[in-house]
Structure 1
Amino acid sequence: MDFFQNLNFSSSNEDGETELAALAGAGRILCLTGSGTRPLDLLMSDAEEIVALDVNPAQNALLALKVAAIESFERDEFLAFLGVSPSATRGTAYDRLRHCLSPAVRGYWDRRRALVEAGVWYAGKWEKLLRWNARFLRLFRGRALDALLAAPDVEEQAGLWGQKFGDNRLRAVIKLIGRDWIWRWVVREPGGAFLPPPRDVARRLASDFMRASRSFLFRDSDFAILIFRGAHQADGALPVHLRPENYQRIRERLSRLRIVEGGLADLGELDVGAIDGFSLSDFGSYCGTDLYSSCWKGVLDAAAPGAKFCERIFMNDMELPFAEIEEDRSLSKALSETDKAIIYRIRVGTITGKA
């Protein structure tokens, strides 16, 4: 199945606190849908509307399912329905909410009922890969992982990381993951076409994890928990919208969320209105320079004067293509250092006009 029709992301692989800080004060925010975590997290902002945009209908269908479930269930039942907590009644729960879905979304999930009953939180391609990775780590570093996640402070954690997770065998695994054929043929990820050489990927990831080990406790990062454990716990680190103190507020603001099918390059032709905040995730991982410029041109077409943006960059570093996009390098550096998703560089700034 084509990558842009498949369910690729289903849980959380970013840090919503970063986007909330970067886009504070924006009145209308456009974000890429992805797993649905990003737009749901952004409901904790004071924005009047969150426009969730994705060219992949599967990702939008996942967000629509999550919205209906939040409307229908209290937090504990929602976590069980997702698959974060155990449940033997997800099929019954789905029957209770499927009438809330549009015909297209209902048809999508009716045909994939087995995914719903298994819990959609781990249904994505990347979640399956990360669960495999966590099983490998458990096999070779189980006790060290337990100690790492129980470290009382970042100093001890950084020491454990350097001692137990810096050897050649683990570096070889990281280097293997960075090979483009793994991405293209095993994971079927088009972003593999834009990866740097495997040695550079391994070096950069090793640096990212060492930096993170000195910056915050891994057990406080839902992304780190997914990498190390392969699964989240209801009482552990979770994305912003799933935290107990935020869930009711998210429920009350669901009417602010609008789901749109399309891509960034299409924004000039889509009826999204003037946007003053853009959460762009890591779209550059799937772009050559021409498409990257086209996507930014779409952003400029939809941007209100002085709009803020927050872009994540994994490995495919590209220069901003238009002079009207101005980076705030100081804030970018600060947010990159505190972002609990570990593997991204954060680029934030403002849009000063049309291209």
Structure 2
Amino acid sequence: MTDFASEAGYLKNEKLKSALLQHKALSAKGFSERMFGLLFSGLVYPQIWEDPDVDMAAMELGEGHNVVTIASGGCNMLAYLSRSPAKIDVVDLNPHHVALNRLKLTAFRHLPAHSDVVRLLGQHNVDANISAFDNFIAPHLDDTTRAYWQKRSIGGRRRIDVFKRNIYRTGLLGRFIGVGHLLARLHGVDLTKIAEAKSLREQRQFFEDRIAPLFDKPFIKFLTSRKSSLFGLGIPPQQYDELASLADDGSIAPVLRQRLEKLACHFPLRDNYFAWQAFARRYPQPHEGSLPTYLREEHYPAIRDNAERVSVHHASFTELLNQKPAAAVDRYILLDAQDWMNDEQLNDLWTEITRTAAPGARVIFRTAAEKSVIEGRLSQAIADQWTYQKDRSEALNVQDRSAIYGGFHIYSKNT
């Protein structure tokens, strides 16, 4: 097992460096890449920001499927287990995500009941979560993951202590959302108040009256004109450029406004836990709305029983596929990772995807901009073996509750 407990950081994480760095250090683009890499070397996503229900519909995921996916916060991997696939291989270049995914899997396997899982992963300010970790989870973790969560800060707190507060306010994304709330308050807007809306009409009214005007404020326009302003969303310089290409003046403020409008206005709050995390910085209580798919009681037995079918790897997608035999994988979930890649990296990845793809295999991914990033960039020999499901992709993109991406894409292997 790869030892990822050491926090030597981004500079010693060769896997992450090789994925991110495409320009010389002294160039402007090279500096941005290295700055992003330093931020990305810690925990980034305590919650994954891709809609698992859209994923499962796109994949037509079912029993017997062999799946390879990127880990991120681990929520979607667990949701996929509700469909009883044969095996899921989870990969991530970020060791913090690896540790979080292994923790979540062990929680499902060894906590006594569904309510205990919800308290640990879905609630905040619960002191009992720490004793639950010590008694039921820690004894079943591998040595490296257990050491990760037992590690103490300079102040003496164990890393696991975050679960008795609110893990979703931590990580790069959690802190970025916190800064967004602070900026809104400095302009007289309390974003948490949208949780009081009782209808889509009231949600839209709050957005139009309180949130939308923020994007016209000079300071916010200034901030969003800097690539580093979106590093907290896990958006690298390459993705910023894609977003900026959507606006006439190169500013991403109108793009961010549009994405936030979808998040705030297109889905009832009761049904959109992504909106709760963005605006209330927590999950809803039972009387307020639904929990994420993987925390719903109806899925708990299947996820618990299937958790042993998952293997979590500190590796790149291409690296893992290189170790698999031909025609061994049915479903691939790439998240938005291809937005980071140059043509050589894309072709290396799709060479392995094509080699390992079983008959009828499907690949799904998201993009910052609307268009598919692989069109016109893959070798013809590879591209000819795949069909883009354009209409289905566009239809499901409309249904994606996370709302932060411009495009959702499905490719199926030709028979």
TM-score (norm 1): 0.86
* 1:279 aligned partner: 333
The answer as to 2:128 corresponding to 1:81 is no
Residues 171/342 of structure 1: CA separation in 2 closer, same or farther (3 Å cut): farther
CA distance in 2, matches of 1:189, 1:15: 17
Conserved 8 A contact 1:53-1:262:
yes
The answer as to 2:239 corresponding to 1:239 is no
Pick aligned residue for 1:158 from 204, 209, 223:
204
Conserved 8 A contact 1:305-1:351:
yes
The one-letter code of the counterpart of 2:209 is Q
What is the total number of aligned residue pairs between the two structures? Answer: 350
Residue 41 of structure 1: how far off its partner (Å): 1.1
* 1:21 aligned partner: 57
Residue 100 of structure 1: how far off its partner (Å): 0.3
Structure 2: gaps (5+ residues): 1-8, 11-36
Identity over aligned residues, as a percent?
A: 21
1:216-295 equivalent positions in 2, closer than 5 A: 216-235=267-286, 236-271=289-324, 274-295=328-349
Pick aligned residue for 1:91 from 105, 112, 130:
130
The one-letter code of the counterpart of 1:270 is Q
The answer as to 2:160 corresponding to 1:116 is yes
The answer as to 2:371 corresponding to 1:310 is no
CA distance in 1, matches of 2:256, 2:75: 23
The answer as to 2:196 corresponding to 1:134 is no
Conserved 8 A contact 2:67-2:330:
yes
Residue 222 of structure 1: how far off its partner (Å): 1.5
* 2:22 aligned partner: none
SS at 1:307 equivalent: strand
Stretch of structure 1 that moved more, 263-272 or 101-110: 263-272
Conserved 8 A contact 1:137-1:228:
no
Residues 169/31 of structure 1: CA separation in 2 closer, same or farther (3 Å cut): closer
Stretch of structure 1 that moved more, 16-25 or 331-340: 16-25
The answer as to 2:172 corresponding to 1:125 is yes
The one-letter code of the counterpart of 2:408 is I
SS at 1:125 equivalent: helix
Residue 43 of structure 1: how far off its partner (Å): 0.8
Residues 171/279 of structure 1: CA separation in 2 closer, same or farther (3 Å cut): farther
SS at 1:281 equivalent: coil
CA distance in 2, matches of 1:133, 1:219: 22
CA distance in 1, matches of 2:390, 2:72: 26
Pick aligned residue for 1:192 from 226, 233, 237:
237
Residues 188/255 of structure 1: CA separation in 2 closer, same or farther (3 Å cut): closer
Pick aligned residue for 1:179 from 204, 212, 226:
226
* 1:101 aligned partner: 141
Conserved 8 A contact 1:12-1:239:
no
Stretch of structure 1 that moved more, 88-97 or 274-283: 88-97
CA distance in 1, matches of 2:325, 2:138: 27
CA distance in 1, matches of 2:45, 2:78: 15
Residue 207 of structure 1: how far off its partner (Å): 2.2
Conserved 8 A contact 1:67-1:254:
yes
Residues 22/190 of structure 1: CA separation in 2 closer, same or farther (3 Å cut): closer
CA distance in 1, matches of 2:108, 2:180: 30
* 1:70 aligned partner: 108
Residue 242 of structure 1: how far off its partner (Å): 0.9
Residue 347 of structure 1: how far off its partner (Å): 0.6
CA distance in 2, matches of 1:51, 1:102: 17
Residue 45 of structure 1: how far off its partner (Å): 1.8
Looking at CA atoms only, which structure, 1 or 2, has the larger radius of gyration?
2
Residues 304/227 of structure 1: CA separation in 2 closer, same or farther (3 Å cut): same
The superposition leaves residues 154-191 of structure 1 with CA deviations (integer Å, 9 ceiling, x where unpaired) of: 3443343223322155665376246213345xx49571
Residue 200 of structure 1: how far off its partner (Å): 4.3
Structure 1: gaps (5+ residues): none
Stretch of structure 1 that moved more, 96-105 or 74-83: 74-83
SS at 1:95 equivalent: helix
The one-letter code of the counterpart of 1:116 is I
* 1:208 aligned partner: 259
The one-letter code of the counterpart of 1:6 is G
SS at 2:366 equivalent: strand
